Chain A
Amino acid sequence: MTRLALERVTFRYPATEAPALLDVSLEVTGGEVVALVGSIGAGASTLLLVAADLAPRVVGGRLEGRVAFDGEGVRGIVLPTPWTQLSGMAFTVWDEVAFGPANLGLARDEITRRVDRAIARLGIEGLVSREPTTLSGGELQRVIIAGILAMQPGLLLLDEPTAELDPIGARSLWELVRALAREGTAILVATSDLDALPAVADRVAWLDRGRLQAIGSADLLGSEALVAASLGPTVANVWHGARLPSPYPVSVAQALQRWEQR
C-alpha cells in the first residue's frame, strides 16, 4: 500500500537561514485525504514540494530528517498556477494530458486508455481538440489535473486545486478527490477552502511558520486554536462569534445536529 512518511523534516531553501519547515513529521497512506491548512507562507507549499521529491532535489536547499515513500505509481504534484504547468509541446488538450503518460514510456493503447479516462473524470471532453494556450484559468486547471491523473499517481499532491474554479467546479473537484481516495490514492492537499474540508479531509494538519502545530480529524478545524488563528470554517466562526462553547461545529450539517440536540 502507498505510504508517504516525513520524519522530523527540516528544510531550508537555498541561501536562506530561516527554515521553511521545522521538525515536521507526517504520514499519508493510500486511501486517505490529508489536508494542510495554515496562513500564507506557513510552509504548506514547501511541504508538498518535499513530499513530491522536488525539494531539495530540483529546488535546491538543505533537508534534514527523512522522507520515505513506498508504493506503486508516481508522485504527482499539481501546483497552484496552472499556466506554468503546460508542457509547451502539445497542440491539443488531448496531447497535453497524454504528455505525462508518454514520458513514462507506456504503450500507445495504454496511454489512450488512461488519457480518455482522465479526461472523462475531469469532465473536459469538450476541450480535447482545443489548443491549451486558449483555455481559461479554470479549464486549464482541470486539464493539468487530468494530466497528472493520467499518470495514475500513487500519491497525489494538490496545491490550491480550486483556486481558478467556480463554486460548482470546486465542488466537482472535491468529489473527485474523495473518489480517488476511495480507489486507494494517497492524497495530500493544501487549501484555503476551509468550508469544503469537513466533507473532503480524513485528517487535517495545521502548519504555522514551518511547524506542525496540530493534526487531527476535520473536527480540528472547529477547535478554539484554529478558529482563533482565522483557520476555522465559516460555521465555526459564527458559533464562536455567538459565544457558544468550543469545539465549534465545522459544517452546516454538524451545526444543525448540535442545534437539534441542545
Chain B
Amino acid sequence: MTRLHPFTLLAIAAALPALAWILPAPAGGLAMAVVALALALTTGVFRTAVFTAAPFWLFLLLLHDVPTTVAIGLRITTMVSSFVWVVAALPPPRLVEAMVAAGWSASAAYVFAATLSAVPVLRARAGRIADAQRCRGLSPRGGPVQRLRALRALATPLILSALHEVDERALALETRRLVPGTRRTPLAPPSDHAVERVTRWALAAACAAALAWRLR
C-alpha cells in the first residue's frame, strides 16, 4: 500500500469521503466507511480512527435521531479514517519528493520542507527541555494551576527557540538551493505507474459521475 505513489494515496484519501457524501446514505456512507476503516486497519491505525470518530457519533446522537446520526456518522467516520490512514501511510518527505519531482509549485515544496525540517528537531528538543525543567525542580504532579505553569515552562522555550530558528532554516535551505525555479534531480522519486495514473483519473471521474447522477 505504501509503495503506491503519494498522489495516488492522496487521491484515494480524497475520493473516499467525497463519495461517502455524494452517494445516497446510508449505503454509500457505509460502503466507503468500511473501505476507509479497512485501509486504516492495514496501516495499524484502526484504533486511532475509531477513537477519533467516536466523539462525533456521541455529539450527533445528542442532536439528531438515529437514522440521521447513522447517515452523517458514517460519512464523518469515512473522512476521519481516510485522514488518519493517509497520515500514517504517507511520510511527508515522500510527498514533498513527489511534488518536486512532478514539477509542482517549488514554492509550496519550499514551505513544506522548511516546516518539515523543524518537526523532528522540535520533537527531540521538547524532550530535552522537559528534562531540563524537571532538573530545575519542575514537578510532574500537582493541581491544574501547577500543570498550567508546567506547560508554560515546557511550551514557551520550545516555541520561542523554534521561532528564533525560522530565519536560519530558511537561510540553510536557500544555500542548498531549494529555491523557486529549481529543477531538482529526484533522488528516489516515488515510482508512478500508468495503472496508478489511470486509477487516479478514474477516481476523479467516478466522483464527478456520482455527483452528476445525484444532482439530476
Query: Which chain A residues have a beta carbon within 8 Å of chain B's beta carbons?
Result: 49, 52, 54, 58-59, 74-77, 79, 81, 83-91, 95, 98-108, 111, 133, 147-148, 151
Of A81, A90, A102, A104, the residue contacting B165 (CB under 8 A) is: A81
Decide if A54 touches B165 in the complex (CB within 8 Å): no
Asked if A84 and B176 make an inter-chain contact with CB atoms under 8 angstroms apart, the answer reads no
B185 touches A102 (CB 8 A): yes
B175 beta carbon closer than 8 Å to chain A: yes
Is there contact, CB below 8 Å, between B121 and A133? yes
* Residue-wise interface mask of B (146-185) relative to A, using a CB-CB cutoff of 8 A (1 in contact, 0 not): 0000000000000000000101111111111111001111
Q: Decide if B27 is an interface residue (CB 8 Å cutoff).
A: no
Segment among B2-10, B111-119, B130-138, B196-204 that sits at the interface with chain A: B111-119
Per CB-CB distance, the 7 closest pairs between chain A and chain B, nearest first, are A88-B117, A88-B116, A85-B172, A133-B120, A103-B177, A84-B168, A100-B176
Q: List 9 A-B contacts (CB under 8 A).
A: A58-B174, A87-B178, A88-B93, A90-B93, A102-B184, A103-B176, A104-B185, A111-B187, A133-B124
- Give Cα A100–Cα B185 distance, bound, in whole angstroms: 10
CB contacts (< 8 Å) of A111 on chain B: these are: 185, 187
B186 within 8 A of A: yes
Assembly CA distance A99 to B184 (angstroms) = 9
CB B185 to nearest CB in A, in angstroms, measures 5
Residues in A neighbouring B22, C-beta threshold 8 A: none
- The reply to whether A83 and B177 contact each other, CB–CB distance below 8 Å, is no
B118 adjacent to A105 (CB under 8 Å): no
Which A residue sits closest to B116, measured CB to CB? A88
By a CB distance below 8 angstroms, the chain B residues around A83 are 121
Which among B120, B168, B179, B185 is the interface contact of A88 at CB below 8 angstroms?
B120
Q: Is B13 an interface residue (CB 8 A)?
A: no
> A79 touching B121 by the CB < 8 A rule?
no
Q: Which residue of A lies closest to B185 (CB)?
A: A102
A111 CA / B168 CA spacing, docked (Å):
25
Note all chain B residues with C-beta closer than 8 A to A151: 176-177
From A85, A101, A106, A133, name the one whose CB has the most chain B CB atoms within 10 angstroms.
Answer: A85
> B131 → chain A, closest Cβ, in Å?
16
Q: How far is the CA of A111 from the CA of B188 in the complex (A)?
A: 12
User: What is the CA–CA distance of A133 and B177 in the complex, to the nearest angstrom?
Assistant: 21
* Nearest chain B residue, comparing its CB with the CB of A55: B171
Q: A91-B93, A105-B182 are in contact. List 6 more A-B contacts (CB 8 A).
A: A58-B174, A85-B176, A86-B172, A89-B97, A105-B183, A133-B121
A59 touches B93 (CB 8 A): no
Q: Can you name the residue of chain B whose Cβ is closest to the Cβ of A77?
A: B175
Chain A positions within 8 Å of B183 at CB level: 105
Closest to A94 in B: B187
| Nearest residue, chain B, Cβ from A153 | B175
Q: Nearest residue in A to B183 (C-beta to C-beta)?
A: A105
Question: Does B49 sit at the interface, judged by CB under 8 A?
Answer: no
Residues of B within 8 Å of A107, CB to CB, are 185
Question: What's the least CB distance linking A89 to chain B, in Å?
Answer: 5
Docked complex Cα distance between A84 and B173 (Å)? 10
Given contacts A89-B96, A90-B93, contact A95 B187 (CB under 8 A): yes
> Which chain A residue has the least Cβ–Cβ distance from B175?
A77
Residue pair B172, A79 in contact (C-beta under 8 Å): yes
B124: A residues at CB distance < 8 A: 133
Q: Which residues of A contact B175 (CB under 8 A)?
A: 52, 54, 74-77, 148
Bound complex: CA A91 to CA B188 (Å): 11
- Specify the chain B residue showing the minimal Cβ separation from A86: B117
Report the nearest A residue to B162, measured CB to CB. A84
Q: From the candidates B91, B93, B176, name the one contacting A148 in the complex (CB within 8 A).
A: B176
